[in-house]
Structures are given as C-alpha cells and as structure tokens.
C-alpha cells in the first residue's frame, strides 16, 4: 500500500480526521477520562498507530473480510515521518 490514499487526502490526514472524530464522540476525553491532545501534538508512534488503523480500514473496504487475516502484518510499520527521522 502506498503512503498516500489512492484518491484524495493522505493516510495521515485520514488518520487525523478519524482521531478528531473519535475525540468528538467522547467529549474530547481519552479512555481514562483525560483531555485528548490535538492530533499534531501526539507522539509520532501514536500518530502512526492511528494511520495504521486508517490504512487497515482502507484494506477492509478494498478487500473485504479477507483483510481481517492481515491485521498483524502492520506490526513494525513506520510512517513516512518516522522513516525520514532516521
């Protein structure tokens, strides 16, 4: 899968939108009830985890239930930003 979605926004932009939607649905509180930071203020590994989640949803939309078998293939995934910082 490429670093950008096929059409439209990048995977990071999709992940940020998903994060903001999650925040809106929880009153901007995390699972502990603490306020959630803005997406841009998250540590890079957490932003990457949201990107992986967005990409997996993309895989499911493209491949259907077959994509469920590939959930563990994301282990060790590094975002473009993580690869650039090395």
User: Do 79 and 12 form a contact (C-beta atoms < 8 A)?
Assistant: yes
Which pLDDT value is given to residue 84?
A: 81
CA distance 30 to 37: 9
Q: What is the largest CA-CA distance in the chain?
A: 36
Which residues contact residue 15 at a Cβ distance below 8 angstroms, ignoring those fewer than 6 apart? 39, 47, 50, 51, 53, 54
Q: Please list the residues that pair with 35 across neighbouring strands.
A: 29
Over residues 54-69, the mean pLDDT reads: 93
Report d(CA 60, CA 72) in Å as an integer: 14
**What is the overall mean pLDDT for the chain?**
90
Q: What is the pLDDT of residue 2?
A: 55
pTM above 0.85, yes or no: no
Condensed to tens digits (0 to 9), the pLDDT of residues 3-37 reads: 555 678 999 999 999 999 999 999 999 999 999 99
Percentage of the chain lying above the pLDDT 90 cut:
73
């Amino acid at each position: 899968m490429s670093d950008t979605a096929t059409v439209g926004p990048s995977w990071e932009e999709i992940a940020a939108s998903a994060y903001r939607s999650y925040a809106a649905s929880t009153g901007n509180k995390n699972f502990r009830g603490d306020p959630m930071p803005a997406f841009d203020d998250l540590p890079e590994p957490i932003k990457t985890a949201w990107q992986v989640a967005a990409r997996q949803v993309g895989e499911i939309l493209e491949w259907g239930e077959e994509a469920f078998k590939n959930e563990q293939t994301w282990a060790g995934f590094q975002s473009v930003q993580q690869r650039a910082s090395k």
